[in-house]
Structure 1
Amino acid sequence: MESFHFTPFEHRQPPRAQAPSQRHLRLWHFLAAMSLGLGAWYLHWRWTATLNPDAMIFSVLVASAETLAYVGCILFFHDIWAPKDTPPAPPPRSRAEAGLAGDGPIRVDILITTYDEPPEIVALSIRAARALRLPEGCEANVYVLDDGNRPAMAAVAQREGALYISRDRNTGFKAGNLRNALLRTDGDFFVICDADTRLFPRFLENTLGYFRDPAVAWVQTPHWFYDIPANADGTGEQDVFLCDPGLFFDIIQRRRHRNNASFCCGAGSIHRREAVFASALMEYGARAAAPAERRFALAARDLQPFRYHVSEDIYTSILVQSDPGGPWRSVYHPQVESRMLSPWGLKAWAAQRLKYAGGSLDILFHDNPLIRKGLPWRTRLHYGATFWSYLSCLWLPILLAAPVVALLTGTAPLRAGIGEFFLHLLPVLIVTELALIAGCWGQDVSKGRLLAIATLPLTLKALWQVIRRRKIGFAPTPKIPLYSEALRIIWPHLLLIGISLAAAAYALWQASLGQSSLGLPFLLVNLFWISWNIYMLSAAPRAALWRPKASR
């Protein structure tokens, strides 16, 4: 095989998803209830006994930020409350068993989307797709959907035995690319692959069985980035770009499934053609059973099986799940069934994270599913948790700025004795941390906090673009290492670190001269707070400085 940056990691095997025991779930539920109760107790004390009348605006802002963070905690706990997997089933052996009409084999289309990725990386995905084990009564075709319309890509597709589809214009970007292919193919089911998605041989054997239920619209499998670099000693993983998706897929997506709220994440998903077209037809006031001539007319009016949107996967998921003509449901399959490439370099990481944030916020502001008819309230809460996590960019800056303001002005955001403060705060912090460890069974919960701070400037940029109705970029995540333009991405982090260090130095200088009115406890608490913030802010600069061992 040709040598790539990910070649040294080809031997890696995916983790095997496990379900927590009932004893573990009971412990998690107990700690979660304790955490929420203590959090409510702490906030009641903050609002009723600690507001500082000498700095009321500052005090209210900090208390409000803490309250909004607590709301996020409630939504996150609802998100991950309990798993409820759909039992796997053997693949259907006939069209009738898959809820399909007519005779003949079950037809599956493997759609590999690409735009500007190296053709030889796409070639690996084609080979993996062609190596799929086909269940009895099933036939499959592999298509390369090249939005770059490249002769070199067409040649690779022909060489590898895949069918090639391109188009002259990039209308709708990836969603438009999929639409173009779906209107030119006729598979009963289709699998979405990115350019770097290499399906495992048993993908169809392990996912088609869910479609024995005719209400299942799609099945999403976890993303597994197998190329996360190793530590310096060659062991374990050094996830410098905080891109390991284990927490999102194995915990959040898997547990949202209990309320039909796990959403499509594009790559590694398999869809019932009828479901996406039925949802698209609903946008025009028609159903999937419309006459053929009506279907053709709607297609001519730009029927969109996947909505033309930077986050076409989650957007279409919401529309399908709220389709009153369904009811369609999704299935989250907890086992890894493919391998993919992670962003190598801050530029690729930033492009991906900006797209995620901008797409989600655009849906929230311009087609809010929380007020959309057809979604059950529990499902709405799950999507609320997704949007709330991005809206945290509005109150996280307050918590980052609070110790800086306190040290520079000598003003406390609350009025309470140091002992009383810790008596209320420490139980909340300790129990909440224990609850997160128990609830995020086997996953590193610290990465979520680091990621929220590392992506803060990107999320604020995305929010500003959405408010101004500016388009979020559709650029695909690069599949090769890119280390340029790091300073342009991390300058906000460096600025905040510099301001925090300056505030700490100023407070220490004032204290050394005996000119500070700050008490020692106040000084120590805020210095610890500011040190913690600097550590959190340093994740992005540390990633910018990282280079793989061979490149040093």
Structure 2
Amino acid sequence: MSPARERVWHFLAGASFAFGGWYLTWRWTQSLNPDNLVFSVLVASAETLFFVGTLLTFFDIWREQDSPRTPAPRTRKEAALDDACDAIVVDVFIATFDETCAVVGPTVEAAVGLQAPENTVVRVHILDDGNRLEMEQLAGRFGVGYITRCDNVGFKAGNLRNALFQTSGDFVLICDADTRVFPEFLENTLGYFRDSKVAWVQTPHWFYDIPEGETWEDWAGRHTRHFPNAIARFMRFATARSRVGNDPFLSDPTLFFDVILRRRNRNGAAFCCGAGSVHRREAIFSQAIDQKAKDLNVLTDRHGFSGCAQALSCVRLEPYRFHVSEDIYTSILLHENRDAEWKSVFHPKVEARMLSPWSMKAWATQRLKYGGGTFDIMLRDNPLWRRGMSWQAKLHYAATFWSYLSVLWVPILLLAPVAALLFGLSPVSAYSAEFFLYFVPAILITEAATVVACKGYNVGKGRALALATLPLNLRALWLAICGERPSFPTTPKSPGNAGAWKFVWPNIALISLMVMAGTWGVFQTVRGVDGFGLSMLAVNLFWLVWNISLNGHLVLAAFWKPMSVLQRSNHKETEDENAYSSPST
């Protein structure tokens, strides 16, 4: 972000705060509708909570401040390890459970091709939680380590823990089964560890296989002979998308990594996102030892264990906390360690490529896992109540939790126009000129601030994703409240959209309800029914169309299918299966 753009962003953010506060003050003091007081208070409360989320987001992304880049350390002393002249050792962990050799093979090949900095030794290990012969053979063909275990306790965290106890590298590079690192990865990231307080370095996730789709003109030409250009123009306007089938599952994470996580770096509070991260072994184990000591104290106080051995037998040493979201959980535990003063670094340059979800099931599995892990941490081990964490880091984590908690008030804002047009309810005393005087500047300035802050990225995709994941996050919240711990299913890597409708029916039902409400509202306005008017109809129809367009993204994904298996050419499933599964290769 250029200095000029940052100044504009900060000015608009301040104006957004002022106009938003001005609007809400008027909203609570002068605009509540006494005839529909409960409905009016509900909507005003949802608007207020939404405004709080906006403020947290603005703090989250306030300033872009990257850590200084330095060359990779050439000695152990430069890496803040010790004064010895021995080589620096980096273990590369490739975690897998049920992925095929076609997926894991290219990942291993990329890891073997890493360029080791001077005086650095790289050791690659396949961490196979599936305990499969073909994976052991794959490791043998590449000459890399093969580590497995007899159970799957702790999911991915348990898999990483098992590998840590069987290796001895000074640093650990974590890869998922589909994380294909670039050769310069270590050269570009190890330099940050010259600072002895850096616990881990996170790099952006880049899904290199996201479908680009086709133009609406080509799409219309394939489906009709009549007026293809007019149809293309209409579809481009109606969907607000330049291409059909482009990123159907809203998987592109660039906005999150290059805006949100990157700007948390200014406070050393960018959390770990698992794959594509490098960790200092000392930090991992220091956190685990501290946590075990705390657990021992709790057990001793709660159960009155008489002997240390009895208590020790009940507490495991967990270098990565056994949890479905072990990455963010470990981040929290390290960020709260005030004595060690561990901090994280976000490295803004893409250093690896990964596979995106290519089916509705894969997308839903991934999103439910994210939501379930976040809600479980928030309800049972919330970092906001921890003493050691800085207030800046707490606000960054609060922004994450608040975005997930929006499932409690976003439905109110979604259904408010529906209720208004179906039953003639109004959340404000009147849709007068005064209402537009307060509301329009607040919403337009906030929108302008968001667009400028996000450097031109498509913010509409983020909003569409928030609505698309609403049913999944509601389910995740309910399971967390009921005490059901989230599971860790692997994300399917194969194309296909069978059974997609079971994931999108809530969105289809909501869109249908909105269309019905809009139609009914127009009908009642034409009839001149009391409670309906042109200004009321215009405002609520605007929000209905807005909400329908956002909800429609996921519904369109249910119709999406690859034009052919070969469209996923970056995966090369058939070729890879032959290359990495044949013992003669």
TM (norm. structure 2) is 0.87
2:451 equivalent in structure 1: 437
SS in 2 for 1:139: strand
Q: Displacement of 1:242 after TM fit?
A: 0.9
2:290 equivalent in structure 1: 282
Instruction: Name the CA distance, whole Å, in 2 between partners of 1:510 and 1:202.
Output: 65
* 1:241 to 2:223 alignment: no
Answer whether contact 1:123 1:160 (CA < 8 A) is retained: no
Instruction: Name the CA distance, whole Å, in 1 between partners of 2:263 and 2:517.
Output: 43
Instruction: Name the CA distance, whole Å, in 1 between partners of 2:480 and 2:182.
Output: 38
Distance 1:318-1:299 versus aligned 2 partners, 3 A rule: farther
- Kindly report which structure 2 residues correspond to 1:287-302, keeping only aligned pairs within 5 A, or say none: 301-302=315-316
Answer whether contact 1:109 1:190 (CA < 8 A) is retained: yes
Q: Which runs of 5+ in 1 are unaligned?
A: 1-19, 287-293
Aligned to 2:97, which of 107, 115, 123?
115
Aligned to 2:198, which of 208, 216, 223?
216
1:7 equivalent in structure 2: none
* 1:59 to 2:40 alignment: yes
Instruction: Name the CA distance, whole Å, in 2 between partners of 1:482 and 1:60.
Output: 45
Aligned to 1:464, which of 459, 478, 490?
478
Answer whether contact 2:292 2:316 (CA < 8 A) is retained: no
Q: How many residues are aligned here?
A: 526
TM (norm. structure 1) is 0.92
Q: Displacement of 1:238 after TM fit?
A: 1.2
Could you list the structure 1 runs, at least 4 aligned residues long, displaced by more than 4 angstroms after superposition.
233-237, 297-301, 512-517
1:185 equivalent in structure 2: 167
- In the alignment, residue 499 of structure 2 is paired with which amino acid? E
Instruction: Name the CA distance, whole Å, in 1 between partners of 2:107 and 2:156.
Output: 17
Answer whether contact 1:146 1:166 (CA < 8 A) is retained: yes
Instruction: Name the CA distance, whole Å, in 1 between partners of 2:433 and 2:153.
Output: 61
Answer whether contact 1:113 1:195 (CA < 8 A) is retained: yes
Q: Displacement of 1:433 after TM fit?
A: 1.2
- Kindly report which structure 2 residues correspond to 1:69-148, keeping only aligned pairs within 5 A, or say none: 69-101=50-82, 102-148=84-130
Distance 1:300-1:185 versus aligned 2 partners, 3 A rule: farther
- In the alignment, residue 110 of structure 2 is paired with which amino acid? A
Instruction: Name the CA distance, whole Å, in 2 between partners of 1:257 and 1:300.
Output: 37
2:260 equivalent in structure 1: 252
Distance 1:417-1:404 versus aligned 2 partners, 3 A rule: closer
Deviation by residue 1:17-44 (Cα, 9 ceiling, x = unmatched):
xxx1111111110011011111000000
Q: Displacement of 1:516 after TM fit?
A: 5.7
Q: Displacement of 1:480 after TM fit?
A: 1.7
* 1:176 to 2:184 alignment: no
* 1:305 to 2:319 alignment: yes
Answer whether contact 1:120 1:156 (CA < 8 A) is retained: no
Q: Displacement of 1:350 after TM fit?
A: 0.7
SS in 1 for 2:564: helix
* 1:24 to 2:5 alignment: yes
Q: Displacement of 1:522 after TM fit?
A: 1.2
Aligned to 2:145, which of 157, 163, 166?
163
Moved more, 541-550 or 502-511: 502-511
Q: Displacement of 1:118 after TM fit?
A: 1.2
Moved more, 129-138 or 482-491: 482-491
Instruction: Name the CA distance, whole Å, in 1 between partners of 2:170 and 2:147.
Output: 18
- In the alignment, residue 153 of structure 2 is paired with which amino acid? T
Instruction: Name the CA distance, whole Å, in 2 between partners of 1:184 and 1:103.
Output: 23
Deviation by residue 1:335-389 (Cα, 9 ceiling, x = unmatched):
0000001111111111111111111111111001001111111110000000000
CA RMSD of aligned residues (A): 2.0
1:38 equivalent in structure 2: 19
Instruction: Name the CA distance, whole Å, in 2 between partners of 1:413 and 1:300.
Output: 55
Q: Displacement of 1:76 after TM fit?
A: 0.2
Answer whether contact 2:431 2:535 (CA < 8 A) is retained: no
SS in 1 for 2:456: coil
- Kindly report which structure 2 residues correspond to 1:322-471, keeping only aligned pairs within 5 A, or say none: 322-471=336-485
- In the alignment, residue 365 of structure 1 is paired with which amino acid? L
Aligned to 1:502, which of 510, 516, 527?
516
Q: Displacement of 1:161 after TM fit?
A: 2.0
- In the alignment, residue 213 of structure 1 is paired with which amino acid? D
Q: Displacement of 1:390 after TM fit?
A: 0.1
Answer whether contact 1:108 1:187 (CA < 8 A) is retained: yes
SS in 1 for 2:292: coil
Instruction: Name the CA distance, whole Å, in 2 between partners of 1:250 and 1:514.
Output: 51
Work out the percentage of aligned pairs sharing the same amino acid.
54
Q: Displacement of 1:484 after TM fit?
A: 1.8
Instruction: Name the CA distance, whole Å, in 2 between partners of 1:410 and 1:368.
Output: 42
Aligned to 1:524, which of 525, 530, 538?
538
Instruction: Name the CA distance, whole Å, in 1 between partners of 2:312 and 2:185.
Output: 33
- In the alignment, residue 164 of structure 1 is paired with which amino acid? Y
Answer whether contact 1:348 1:482 (CA < 8 A) is retained: no
Answer whether contact 2:524 2:532 (CA < 8 A) is retained: no
Q: Displacement of 1:549 after TM fit?
A: 2.2
Answer whether contact 1:108 1:140 (CA < 8 A) is retained: yes
* 1:50 to 2:31 alignment: yes
1:488 equivalent in structure 2: 502
SS in 1 for 2:200: strand
- In the alignment, residue 249 of structure 1 is paired with which amino acid? F
Instruction: Name the CA distance, whole Å, in 2 between partners of 1:73 and 1:152.
Output: 50
- In the alignment, residue 19 of structure 2 is paired with which amino acid? L
SS in 1 for 2:214: coil
Deviation by residue 1:95-154 (Cα, 9 ceiling, x = unmatched):
111111244100000000001111121010001001011111100110000011111111
Instruction: Name the CA distance, whole Å, in 1 between partners of 2:30 and 2:200.
Output: 51
Answer whether contact 1:507 1:516 (CA < 8 A) is retained: no
Answer whether contact 1:264 1:314 (CA < 8 A) is retained: yes
* 1:68 to 2:49 alignment: yes
Instruction: Name the CA distance, whole Å, in 1 between partners of 2:452 and 2:537.
Output: 34
Instruction: Name the CA distance, whole Å, in 1 between partners of 2:113 and 2:314.
Output: 36
SS in 2 for 1:97: coil
Q: Displacement of 1:515 after TM fit?
A: 4.6
Q: Displacement of 1:508 after TM fit?
A: 2.6
* 1:199 to 2:181 alignment: yes
- In the alignment, residue 246 of structure 2 is paired with which amino acid? Q
SS in 2 for 1:31: helix
SS in 2 for 1:96: coil
Instruction: Name the CA distance, whole Å, in 1 between partners of 2:110 and 2:260.
Output: 28
- In the alignment, residue 532 of structure 2 is paired with which amino acid? L
Answer whether contact 1:418 1:522 (CA < 8 A) is retained: no
Aligned to 1:535, which of 533, 541, 549?
549
Instruction: Name the CA distance, whole Å, in 1 between partners of 2:158 and 2:39.
Output: 48
SS in 1 for 2:78: helix
Q: Displacement of 1:304 after TM fit?
A: 0.6
- Kindly report which structure 2 residues correspond to 1:309-320, keeping only aligned pairs within 5 A, or say none: 309-320=323-334
Q: Displacement of 1:300 after TM fit?
A: 9.3
Instruction: Name the CA distance, whole Å, in 2 between partners of 1:445 and 1:548.
Output: 25
1:291 equivalent in structure 2: none
* 1:151 to 2:133 alignment: yes
Instruction: Name the CA distance, whole Å, in 1 between partners of 2:267 and 2:375.
Output: 22
